[in-house]
Amino acid sequence: MKEAAKGLRAIVPRVDMLATSPLTRAMETAVILAKVYDKGTPTTVDALAPGQRPPALAPWLRSQVTHKTVAIVGHEPGLGSLASWLTAGSERSFLELGKGGACLLEFGERIDAGEAMLVWVLRPSHLRSLG
């Protein structure tokens, strides 16, 4: 994950907010990212816990509008469902990030179902090759 985090920083040089699921493994991954990005302690967000539906995270995301780049560390299949909901408006996942994978979503005026644009998806091996 350390090498993948370096690769992520190569293509996303700045993260303004780093959020994580409250589960231990996600928090450990978020700490690795925090070190690579020279950030403080990641923010724990309960809506990122396994079993939460994508709409549960929307209010928190809306509260982050002052941050240009928000990184989220969580679990599959939840993150794939979240990305699918934000881009296509459906909680049925069309993408699988896998352990250590990443995607970049861009938003316009609204943070809601179907409002984001998927810019890229990278597997951990792709990220490691960038680092």
Phi and psi at residue 103, to the nearest 5°? -140, 160
Asked if 97 and 62 count as a contact pair (C-beta separation under 8 A), the reply is no
Q: How far apart are CA 65 and CA 37, in angstroms?
A: 20
Q: Which CATH superfamily is domain 2-130 in?
A: Phosphoglycerate mutase-like (3.40.50.1240)
pTM across the whole model: 0.93
The confidence score (pLDDT) of residue 61 equals 97
Could you tell me the pLDDT band of residue 98, with boundaries at 50, 70 and 90? confident
CA distance 97 to 86: 15
Q: What is the mean pLDDT of residues 100-111?
A: 95
DSSP-derived 3-state class of residue 43: strand
Sequence ranges of the domains in the chain: 2-130
- pLDDT band, very low/low/confident/very high, at 131 (cuts 50, 70, 90): confident
Can you give the pLDDT at residue 91? Answer: 95
Which tens digits make up the pLDDT trace of 24-80?
A: 999 999 999 999 999 999 999 999 999 999 999 999 999 999 999 999 999 999 999
